[in-house]
Amino acid sequence: MNFQFETIIIGAGPAGLFTALNSKISDKTLILEKNQSAGKKLLMSGAGRCNLTQFGNIRDFFSHYGDNHRFLIPALNEFTNYDLMNFFNNHGLKTINIKSKIFPETENSEDVLDILLHECMKKKVKINYDESVKSIELINDGFAISANNYDYISKNLVIATGGKSYPTSGSNGDGYQFAKATGHTVIKPKPALTPVYISNYKFKEISGISLGERKITVMRDNLKIKIHQGDIGFTHWGLSGPGILDLSRFIEANDVLKINLINQNPEIFREMLNETAITDGKRTIKRFLKNFTIPENLIKLLLDQMNLETSVAISSISKIIRNRLVEIFCEYPFHVQRTGDFNIAMVTAGGISLKEVNPKTMESKLVKNLYFVGEVLDIDGDTGGFNLQAAFSTAFLAAKNLS
């Protein structure tokens, strides 16, 4: 037996739920969710605190979605960060601003999910849990959807299955197969917002230390691929922190990350070294390096790596070693072994090709009444609430256009 609906949405994550509750035909809408409950990944977000979005002008968001940000502009303009904050405020959940990151006042993602589910219930959206979609097929005037329990038919189909990261949350890339079955191109998915493993890593003993706003240059085959400024953190096996996570979408195995560990222009640093050797030659290298914002144990570790005593006087350091100091402190080369896999990546780069989706409606350009929302699209945002904002904004736009 086939169950018939006006709209079927695959996936009860933030994008699927928000599409359903904003649709004019929400009472004729069914969400199919493979898990026994909705929003498993949403509950994990922001370590359970749910960083919903960012504070500030929506125009400042555009540069936070990698190379594909242009596609998102209509969606972000149509449903902005303020619209998102107002939505939750109007439903009794105030938001708070912590260093420009917006969280629910309760700092509990369950409260966000509760409102989404409550609104779906009020608007008579039906949700079938434990119903994993296995295949979809184009039929006359709609779609035939086959799931593990039942078969369905719908006029509109919204694919809100998320990406491939944290597959235990339910989003394991099924949506890409559904898109391919309807003739869509899938840009190869890649883990993003993920830490980086470093070959021959020599910083294990200072794991836990972080450095604020450092310049990171991604080098590939001796060419500069990307330059980014952000916080970095040393882990047991490599690098993390927002600066590294945001760059990870561009990083590949065997790249070299050159990091300016003291936030000082290399040429100025070289001049300072040379000048100090002349004017204050007895000054120890340790005292000299104290002029810069870098923790003492990191200074010691770096000098150890160079076999240089902390007590050595600047004037007795040869030109070759001074050049090496410039390299180590201003352009330390971290050789990338690999980036973290989908099990630890917070989002997925790649996904449904944006060339085949209308950015003003989220409707497929290839198949009428087929929509894509949220992370399944070839869009990934920086850390700080940009991904949830994209999920809500794309969902809002699709909902507005569902008829």
Where along the sequence are the contacts to ligand FAD (CB under 6 A)?
A: 10-16, 32-35, 40-42, 44-46, 50-51, 132-133, 160-162, 165-166, 170-171, 174, 346-347, 374-375, 385-388, 391
In a 13 Å sphere around the CA of 159, the CA atoms on its Cβ side amount to: 34
Toward ligand FAD, which CB reaches closer, 234 or 386?
386
Which amino acid is residue 302, in one-letter code? Answer: L
Q: What is the closest distance, in whole angstroms, from the C-beta atom of residue 261 to ligand FAD in the complex?
A: 28
DSSP per residue over 79-145, as a string? S-HHHHHHHHHHTT--EEEETTEEEETT--HHHHHHHHHHHHHHTT-EEE-S--EEEEEEETTEEEE
Which residue has 């189909």 as its token pair? 157
Separation of alpha carbons 154 and 142, rounded Å = 6
Q: What is the closest distance, in whole angstroms, from the C-beta atom of residue 328 to ligand FAD in the complex?
A: 34
Toward ligand FAD, which CB reaches closer, 43 or 225?
43
Q: What is the closest distance, in whole angstroms, from the C-beta atom of residue 341 to ligand FAD in the complex?
A: 13
Q: What is the closest distance, in whole angstroms, from the C-beta atom of residue 52 to ligand FAD in the complex?
A: 7
Backbone angles phi, psi at 137, to 5 degrees: -145, 140
Toward ligand FAD, which CB reaches closer, 161 or 393?
161
Which tokens belong to 177?
A: 């197969």
Toward ligand FAD, which CB reaches closer, 17 or 261?
17
Separation of alpha carbons 66 and 299, rounded Å = 33
Q: Is 261 helix (H, G, I), strand (E, B) or coil?
A: coil
Torsion angle of alpha carbons 358, 85, 51, 116, nearest 10°? -70
Toward ligand FAD, which CB reaches closer, 38 or 289?
38
Toward ligand FAD, which CB reaches closer, 16 or 233?
16
For residue 361, which of 352, 373, 350 has the smallest C-alpha distance?
373
Q: What is the closest distance, in whole angstroms, from the C-beta atom of residue 32 to ligand FAD in the complex?
A: 5
Q: What is the closest distance, in whole angstroms, from the C-beta atom of residue 128 to ligand FAD in the complex?
A: 9
**β-bridge mates for residue 151, sequence order:** 2, 146
Q: What is the closest distance, in whole angstroms, from the C-beta atom of residue 287 to ligand FAD in the complex?
A: 42
DSSP run (H or E) holding 336:
strand 332-339
What's the distance, CA 325 to chain centroid? 34
Q: What is the closest distance, in whole angstroms, from the C-beta atom of residue 336 to ligand FAD in the complex?
A: 22
What's the distance, CA 320 to chain centroid? 41
Which amino acid is residue 315, in one-letter code? Answer: S
| CA distances from residue 123 to 17, 42, 119, 272 in whole angstroms, order as listed | 11, 21, 6, 67
Toward ligand FAD, which CB reaches closer, 33 or 356?
33
Toward ligand FAD, which CB reaches closer, 181 or 268?
181
Separation of alpha carbons 112 and 43, rounded Å = 9
**DSSP one-letter code for 391:** H
For residue 41, which of 127, 111, 113, 89 has the smallest C-alpha distance?
113
Neighbours of 343 (CB within 10 A): 11
Toward ligand FAD, which CB reaches closer, 294 or 349?
349
Q: What is the closest distance, in whole angstroms, from the C-beta atom of residue 320 to ligand FAD in the complex?
A: 46
Q: What is the closest distance, in whole angstroms, from the C-beta atom of residue 35 to ligand FAD in the complex?
A: 5
Separation of alpha carbons 28 and 142, rounded Å = 15
Toward ligand FAD, which CB reaches closer, 9 or 262?
9
